[in-house]
């Protein structure tokens, strides 16, 4: 049996990579992909501990998270399309109508 | 009807869910109306939504009547709980959405974009908030949170041809999704620590972890991540950067809805997670816990929000920063951690709902839709402070109501805002710790700073000359909203006892209330 | 013997996971990013299988890889941001490094404390590994988790409305107005 903390470490690494990506990437779509990466880190922790505690609450949680992530992706990508129609760019650096 | 439901035990759960179900049903109904109704009749959808709100309010009254002695009622395998807290906030959300619909009718007319989807999405969001108030499990808390925010992303970017609205929506969406990712990671760590997703079960296991001290860092990390997610939703510093942009770029009616309903929802989240699931982690052994964390955040949030608001010229941006500072004041109640503080949060949220919606109502009433380029960001007048110039000469009634709202936002007696702030500060002082007293003093200083920029608006309204000659066009719906908000603002200010009493019964269930014995009401009577 | 293979697969999959996720955020081309993300997700699905969560692993492949990521690819093609960009990162490197070190340090502290005190070993459940995973998840989903399940269906409905509202163009709007 693989020690549980290894899974915790792996998910921490994935989460950190995702979170850093959100700050670093310039393209809106890739930022969104980094958020999906973070959600996957969450799912990994949940499933690991679900099988550790020998019950399925964690897996139920993962199922719901995936459903919501799919819905979120639908809305987010629709937004991407409508922003692109207006501005012809997805670069977060270039869209500066609103002051940072 | 009640007897019928009680005859079938499995239907009891559905009965408890009635307010949410009705809102959802009417949301779907409004959605269908969008296809059926001809363009000039779309306002009917607003009436239908209001009808849904009325139905839902009636079922809440029914539930109060039926179960007021036997709360809390649990349903759906303990995922759903009906208690005083959830009933209170469900009623508050219904009030907020009813007033928001009134504001929206006028605003969508102004934009010539009267569509029923708007009302439908608003109702879906409110349904999510009502689910959230009753959620007693991390899974249902997360999914109802998403039901709240997804419609709001769309409402922010509702006028998709306006780049400003569009990009505000994009920014809000990215940061919102990011913050729910962080919140979710906190949830997963909490699940890792406890093996439970139920709030009550977590509340039982967490004290053991603190006592043995074997996983305190992981617990602290979970708390920090969860706090970051929650603070993002309530736009507290340092997670506030989305708020001014989203508030400015969004349609004004959405800004009103967001600043009131979504903000209150984030405090419901705070209460369920911190007051109910993690009350024991207020301070983790010798290490500071969430009380100290929120204390620092509250101090920074109040100060930065107020200072930034003082430099703004755009009304919506100014109100965005003012709403950030209000997030700070509200956190003071959580820091105090006693009955007075929690009551303060509830009372202040009621006050904030009416006074803020009123303010946005006034802004919408002075909004002009200039003909011209739809894509230009400057096409709406009424968003700049100078658009308030000489309002009293045009409409004394509206100027007077604005005066009431602004005084209330600044916390000047005898208004609702004063009552709320008084309770929040009193909670801190009652707690008596040295740093909490200092925090209360900082709160008072901040109130003074905030009065500076609110008084600037008041001066402009009453003293400056008229710059915009065209008369105001206040529709019937907006008039009603303004009247109700102004009346409630004053009423709660001079006769707060009923609201305080209801709020007390709403928050009395939270675990770490140290001074259950002494209420607030008798003390107020002595003053 | 079997345990040795499990550990081997864990190492393999987690290395793939980290490798592909690094590539996801460093790829110059959005299409490449999406493909690397798909690889990451598939390796995470492999880890789910190692953890005896067959149902979730299947859903991960079907919903995430088959649905969400294909949607991503569609949108990348649609807005034609598939071309390679020269500058891929914002100039917020300082924030990125700060976030990474902060998260890294706090995870290190937390996990090493948990390791040192054997917190999890003390809490491990005694019974056997959950068998018939799909059956169990299915049963619980429609009993324990029925409320979030229903709310999730509302979330999906909202997503449909949102996508229709935001993404249809003028021509499509005329049909219904």
Question: Touching check for A13 and chain B: CB below 8 Å?
Answer: no
For residue B493, give the nearest of B358, B345, B348, B362 by alpha carbon: B348
* Residue B376 falls inside a structural domain: yes
**Element containing residue B380 per DSSP (H, E):** strand B380-381
Distance CA C167, CA C159 (A): 12
Is B428:B341 a contact under the CB 8 Å cutoff? yes
Across the interface, which of A41, A86, A98 has its CB nearest the CB of B171? Answer: A98
Instruction: Specify the pLDDT at position B515.
Output: 38
Instruction: Specify the pLDDT at position B375.
Output: 47
Phi/psi for C106 (5° steps) reads -70, -35
**Element containing residue B260 per DSSP (H, E):** none
Contact criterion met (CB < 8 Å) for C167 and A78: yes
Alpha-helix runs per DSSP H in B213-338: 216-234, 242-249, 252-257, 263-270, 290-310, 315-336
Report the residue of chain C nearest A62, measured CA to CA. Answer: C56
Q: Does the CA dihedral B316-B397-B414-B455 come out positive or negative?
A: positive
Contact criterion met (CB < 8 Å) for A25 and C25: yes
* Residue B395 falls inside a structural domain: yes
Contact criterion met (CB < 8 Å) for B117 and C161: yes
Distance CA B368, CA B386 (A): 13
Contact criterion met (CB < 8 Å) for B184 and A32: no
Contact criterion met (CB < 8 Å) for C63 and A18: no
For residue A27, what are the β-bridge partners?
Answer: A91
Instruction: Specify the pLDDT at position B216.
Output: 85
Across the interface, which of C44, C63, C72 has its CB nearest the CB of A33? Answer: C72
Q: Sorting pLDDT into bands at 50, 70 and 90, what band is A99?
A: very low
Instruction: Specify the pLDDT at position B6.
Output: 57
Q: Which residues of C touch A73 (CB under 8 A)?
A: 68, 71-72
Residues 45-84 of B with CB under 8 A from C: 76-77, 79-80
Contact criterion met (CB < 8 Å) for B154 and C109: no
Instruction: Specify the pLDDT at position A24.
Output: 86
Which residue positions in chain B have pLDDT lower than 70? Answer: 1-10, 284-286, 369-382, 511-527
Interface test with C, best of A74, A76, A86, A91 (most C CBs within 10 A): A74
Q: Which residues contact B185 (CB under 8 A, 6 or more apart)?
A: A15, A38, A41, A42, A45, B225
Report the residue of chain C nearest A38, measured CA to CA. Answer: C21
Instruction: Specify the pLDDT at position A73.
Output: 94
Question: Touching check for A6 and chain C: CB below 8 Å?
Answer: yes
Q: Sorting pLDDT into bands at 50, 70 and 90, what band is A92?
A: low
Question: Touching check for B169 and chain A: CB below 8 Å?
Answer: yes
Question: Touching check for C114 and chain B: CB below 8 Å?
Answer: yes
pLDDT, one tens digit per residue, over B63-92 is 999 888 887 888 888 899 998 899 999 999
Q: How far is CA A10 from the centre of its chain?
A: 15
Q: Which residues of C touch B216 (CB under 8 A)?
A: 113
Closest Cα of chain C to B276: distance in Å? 20
Determine the average pLDDT of the residues in A35-49: 94
Contact criterion met (CB < 8 Å) for A34 and C25: yes
Interface test with B, best of C120, C156, C158 (most B CBs within 10 A): C158
Strand B73-75 to strand B80-82: parallel, antiparallel, or no bridges (unpaired)?
antiparallel
For residue B198, what are the β-bridge partners?
Answer: B137
Q: Which residues of B touch A35 (CB under 8 A)?
A: 174, 177-178, 181
Contact criterion met (CB < 8 Å) for C166 and A79: yes
Which residue positions in chain C have pLDDT lower than 70? Answer: 1-2, 81-91, 124-131, 175-177
Closest Cα of chain C to A99: distance in Å? 16
Interface test with A, best of C82, C137, C167 (most A CBs within 10 A): C167
Closest Cα of chain C to A33: distance in Å? 7
Report the residue of chain C nearest A14, measured CA to CA. Answer: C18
Q: Which residues of A touch B183 (CB under 8 A)?
A: none
Question: Touching check for A76 and chain B: CB below 8 Å?
Answer: yes
- Token digits of residue C117: 């005190």
Report the residue of chain B nearest C173, measured CA to CA. Answer: B35
Report the residue of chain A nearest C107, measured CA to CA. Answer: A12
Q: Which residues contact B254 (CB under 8 A, 6 or more apart)?
A: B152, B155, B156, B158
Contact criterion met (CB < 8 Å) for A97 and B163: yes
Across the interface, which of C113, C151, C177 has its CB nearest the CB of B140? Answer: C151
Q: Which residues contact C35 (CB under 8 A, 6 or more apart)?
A: none
Q: Which residues of B touch A55 (CB under 8 A)?
A: 195
Q: A76 versus B112: which is more confidently predicted?
A: A76
Q: Which residues of A touch C124 (CB under 8 A)?
A: 52-53
* Residue B218 falls inside a structural domain: no
Across the interface, which of B154, B212, B218 has its CB nearest the CB of C165? Answer: B154
Contact criterion met (CB < 8 Å) for A6 and C14: yes
For residue C139, CA distances in Å to A67, B50, B177, B490, C45 come to 18, 38, 30, 53, 22
Report the residue of chain C nearest B20, measured CA to CA. Answer: C151
Question: Touching check for A19 and chain C: CB below 8 Å?
Answer: yes
Question: Touching check for A39 and chain B: CB below 8 Å?
Answer: yes
Beta strands in B23-115 (DSSP E): 73-75, 80-82
What ipTM does this complex have? 0.93
Query: Which chains have at least 3 CB atom pairs separated by less than 8 Å from chain C?
Result: A, B
Across the interface, which of B150, B197, B377 has its CB nearest the CB of A71? Answer: B150
Structural domain boundaries enclosing B516? 289-527
C1-82 is a CATH 1.20.120.1200 domain: yes
Question: Touching check for C102 and chain B: CB below 8 Å?
Answer: no
Question: Touching check for A94 and chain C: CB below 8 Å?
Answer: no
Question: Touching check for C94 and chain B: CB below 8 Å?
Answer: no
Q: Which residues of B touch C115 (CB under 8 A)?
A: none
* Residue B522 falls inside a structural domain: yes
By mean pLDDT, which of A5-9, A13-17, A88-92, B314-318 is the weakest?
A88-92
Q: Could you tell me the pTM of the whole model? A: 0.93
Query: Which chains have at least 3 CB atom pairs separated by less than 8 Å from chain B?
Result: A, C
Instruction: Specify the pLDDT at position C126.
Output: 65
* Residue B439 falls inside a structural domain: yes
For residue A4, give the nearest of C114, C129, C136, C45 by alpha carbon: C114
Contact criterion met (CB < 8 Å) for A72 and B170: no
Q: Which residues of A touch C87 (CB under 8 A)?
A: 26
Across the interface, which of B139, B150, B195 has its CB nearest the CB of A61? Answer: B139
Q: Which residues of A touch B192 (CB under 8 A)?
A: 8, 45, 48-49
- Beta-carbon pairs below 8 A across chains A and B: 118
Q: Does the CA dihedral B267-B271-B277-B282 come out positive or negative?
A: positive
């Amino acid at each position: 049996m693989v020690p549980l903390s290894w899974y915790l470490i792996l998910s921490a690494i994935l989460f950190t990579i995702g979170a850093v990506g959100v700050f670093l990437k310039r393209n809106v779509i890739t930022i969104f992909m980094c958020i999906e990466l973070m959600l996957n880190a969450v799912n990994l922790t949940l499933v690991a501990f679900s099988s550790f505690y020998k019950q399925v609450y964690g897996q139920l949680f993962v199922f719901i998270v995936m459903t919501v992530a799919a819905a979120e992706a639908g809305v987010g990508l629709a937004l991407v399309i409508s922003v692109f129609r207006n501005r012809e760019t997805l670069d977060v650096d270039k869209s500066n109508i609103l002051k940072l | 009807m009640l007897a019928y439901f009680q005859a079938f035990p499995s239907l009891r759960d559905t009965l408890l869910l009635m307010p949410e179900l009705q809102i959802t049903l009417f949301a779907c109904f409004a959605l269908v109306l969008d296809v059926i109704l001809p363009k000039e009749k779309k306002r009917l959808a607003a009436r239908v939504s209001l009808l849904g709100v009325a139905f839902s309010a009636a079922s809440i009254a029914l539930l109060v009547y039926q179960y007021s002695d036997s709360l809390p009622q649990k349903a759906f395998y303990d995922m759903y709980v009906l208690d005083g807290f959830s009933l209170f906030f469900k009623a508050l959300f219904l009030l907020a959405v009813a007033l928001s619909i009134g504001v929206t009718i006028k605003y969508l007319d102004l934009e010539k974009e009267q569509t029923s989807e708007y009302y439908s999405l608003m109702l879906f969001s409110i349904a999510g908030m009502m689910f959230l108030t009753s959620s007693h499990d991390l899974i249902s808390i997360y999914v109802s949170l998403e039901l709240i925010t997804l419609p709001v992303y769309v409402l922010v970017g509702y006028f998709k041809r306006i780049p400003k609205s569009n990009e505000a929506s994009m920014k809000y969406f990215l940061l919102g999704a990011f913050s729910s990712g962080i919140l979710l990671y906190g949830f997963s760590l909490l699940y890792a620590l406890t093996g439970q997703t139920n709030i009550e079960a977590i509340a039982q296991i967490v004290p053991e972890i603190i006592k043995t001290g074997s996983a305190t860092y992981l617990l602290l990390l979970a708390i920090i991540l969860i706090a970051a997610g929650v603070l993002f939703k309530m736009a507290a510093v340092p997670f506030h950067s989305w708020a001014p942009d989203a508030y400015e770029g969004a349609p004004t009616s959405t800004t009103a809805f967001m600043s009131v309903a979504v903000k209150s929802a984030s405090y419901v989240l705070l209460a369920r997670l911190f007051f109910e699931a993690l009350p024991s982690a207020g301070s983790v052994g010798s290490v500071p816990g969430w009380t100290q964390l929120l204390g620092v955040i509250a101090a920074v949030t109040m100060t930065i929000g107020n200072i930034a608001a003082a430099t703004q010229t755009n009304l919506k941006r100014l109100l965005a920063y003012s709403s950030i500072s209000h997030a700070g004041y509200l956190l003071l109640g959580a820091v105090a951690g006693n009955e007075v503080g929690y009551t303060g949060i509830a009372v202040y949220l009621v006050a904030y709902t009416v006074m803020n919606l009123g303010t946005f109502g006034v802004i919408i009433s002075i909004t002009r839709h200039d003909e011209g380029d739809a894509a230009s960001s400057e096409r709406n007048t009424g968003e700049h402070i100078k658009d308030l110039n000489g309002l009293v000469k045009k409409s004394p009634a509206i100027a007077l109501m604005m005066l009431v709202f602004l005084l209330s936002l600044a916390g000047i007696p005898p208004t609702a805002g004063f009552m709320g702030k008084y309770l929040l500060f009193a909670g801190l002082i009652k707690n008596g710790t040295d740093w909490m007293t200092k925090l209360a003093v900082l709160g008072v200083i901040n109130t003074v700073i905030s009065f500076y920029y609110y008084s600037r608006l008041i001066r402009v309204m009453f003293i400056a000359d008229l710059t915009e000659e065209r008369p105001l066009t206040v529709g019937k719906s907006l008039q009603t909203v303004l009247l109700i908000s102004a009346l409630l603002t004053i009423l709660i200010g001079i006769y707060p006892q009923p609201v305080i009493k209801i709020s007390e019964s709403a928050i009395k269930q939270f675990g770490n209330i140290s001074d259950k014995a002494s209420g607030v009401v008798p003390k107020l009577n002595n003053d | 013997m079997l345990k040795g293979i499990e550990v081997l697969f864990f190492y393999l999959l987690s290395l793939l996971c980290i490798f592909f996720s690094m590539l996801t955020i460093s790829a110059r081309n959005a299409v490449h990013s999406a493909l690397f993300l798909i690889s990451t997700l598939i390796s995470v699905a492999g880890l789910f299988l190692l953890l005896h969560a067959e149902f979730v692993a299947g859903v991960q492949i079907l919903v995430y890889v088959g649905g969400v990521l294909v949607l991503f690819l569609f949108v990348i093609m649609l807005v034609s941001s598939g071309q390679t960009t020269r500058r891929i990162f914002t100039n917020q490197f300082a924030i990125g490094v700060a976030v990474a070190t902060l998260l890294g340090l706090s995870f290190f502290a937390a996990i090493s404390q948990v390791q040192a005190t054997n917190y999890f070993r003390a809490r491990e459940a005694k019974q056997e590994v959950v068998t018939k995973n799909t059956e169990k998840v299915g049963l619980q989903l429609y009993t324990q988790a029925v409320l979030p399940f229903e709310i999730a269906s509302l979330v999906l409905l909202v997503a449909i409305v949102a996508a229709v509202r935001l993404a249809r163009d003028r021509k499509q709007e005329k049909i219904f107005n």
